Amino acid sequence: MKALALVVACAATGALLAGCSSTPKPTNKDDSAFTYLFDRKPNWTENKVDALPSLPLAGNLIQFDVSGNTPLTFALDSKSLTVGDDGVVRYTVVVTSPSGAHNVNYEGIRCDTYEWRQYAALNADHDGWDDTVATQFTRIEDSTLNGYQASLYQDYFCANKIPTGTAKQILENMRYKRTAASQIR
């Protein structure tokens, strides 16, 4: 009986060693496609924008700097700023030319991808929103003279691919001109 058990154990060990010593067959599989768990992109879904904010009032506008080389002025409507749990900061921006002409847009900046989109613009009658001008998310352009989305992203809205805080915190930083660069110690 002991001899039979010994023979079975030797056969099993031999089979196990034979399996370990076989060389793997070459494959065309790309093993370099490794990604760390935290680098994997989850399935992102944008929050639905059901209602547009009220049109901005002059008393609710907070001016912010974009470039010393542009004649335009830029302001954000403090009543429209929201920070969604989808990582998108939504706001109304008012761009004013030296002659007094205004562009008013309701937009969103997605912090994790450095992208922005337009949801609506002031209609031709200047009494409501026109949502037919809505766009999809596109990459923010850093080098444009009037690239206010880049200024908002970098100075106030986003850090490390996430919003810098609640709407209240962002607005406080904008009121006191506390940009991301000014807070580095």
DSSP assignment of 39-54: GSPP---PPP--SPPP
114 in any annotated domain: yes
Residue 95 belongs to domain with CATH number:
2.40.128
pLDDT tens-digit map of 75-116 = 999 999 999 999 999 999 999 999 999 999 999 999 999 999
Contact status, residue 129 vs residue 52, Cβ threshold 8 Å = yes
131 in any annotated domain: yes
pLDDT tens-digit map of 56-67 = 999 999 999 998
Domain count for the chain:
1
11 in any annotated domain: no
73 in any annotated domain: yes
Residue type, position 34, single letter: F
15 in any annotated domain: no
141 in any annotated domain: yes
Confidence of residue 40 (pLDDT cuts 50, 70, 90): low
| φ/ψ bin of 100: left (φ > 0), alpha (ψ from -120 to 50), beta (otherwise) | left
102 in any annotated domain: yes
Residue 155 neighbours by CB distance under 10 Å: 20
Domain range for 127? 58-183
39 in any annotated domain: no
Q: How much is the pTM? A: 0.76
